[in-house]
Amino acid sequence: MKNRLEALRKEKGIRQEDLAQALDVSRQTIISLEKGKYNPSLALAFKLARYFALPIEEIFDDSDERA
């Protein structure tokens, strides 16, 4: 699944370590999420949505999965 995580993080000017710490996950998880290698759990997706104050649909794009 594609996502805008890297762009959103850079817009906010935060490092991967800081985002990882804020979400209680490892930096490796953030790297995998940004690369689109790993799809987060619903709980982590909600945490990300709350962190960036955006709806989940604006962070994750599931158009590939729907096609």
Partner 1 sequence: MKCKAMQKAWLRGMLAVGVVLLLAGLIWAFGFGAADGLPMRLAGFLSGLGGAFTAIGGGCLLLNWLRGERRTKESALHMEDERGLMVAYKAQSVAAIAAVLAIVAMLIAALVRGDSFYMALGSAACILVALVKIIAWYAYDKMM
- By beta-carbon proximity to partner 1, the closer residue of 2 and 66 is 2
Q: Are 3 and 56 in contact (CB under 8 A)?
A: no
Give the number of residues in contact with partner 1, rule: CB under 8 A.
11
User: Which range, of 7-15, 22-30, 51-59, touches partner 1 by CB under 8 A?
Assistant: 22-30
DSSP state letter for 36: T
**Shortest spacing between CB 67 and partner 1, in angstroms:** 25
Name the one range near partner 1 by CB under 8 A: 5-13, 32-40, 52-60: 32-40
Residue with tokens 């599931």, as numbered in its chain: 62
The residue among 7 and 26 lying less far from partner 1, judged by its C-beta, is 26
Q: Are 23 and 51 in contact (CB under 8 A)?
A: yes
Give the side-chain half-sphere CA count within 13 A for 25.
18
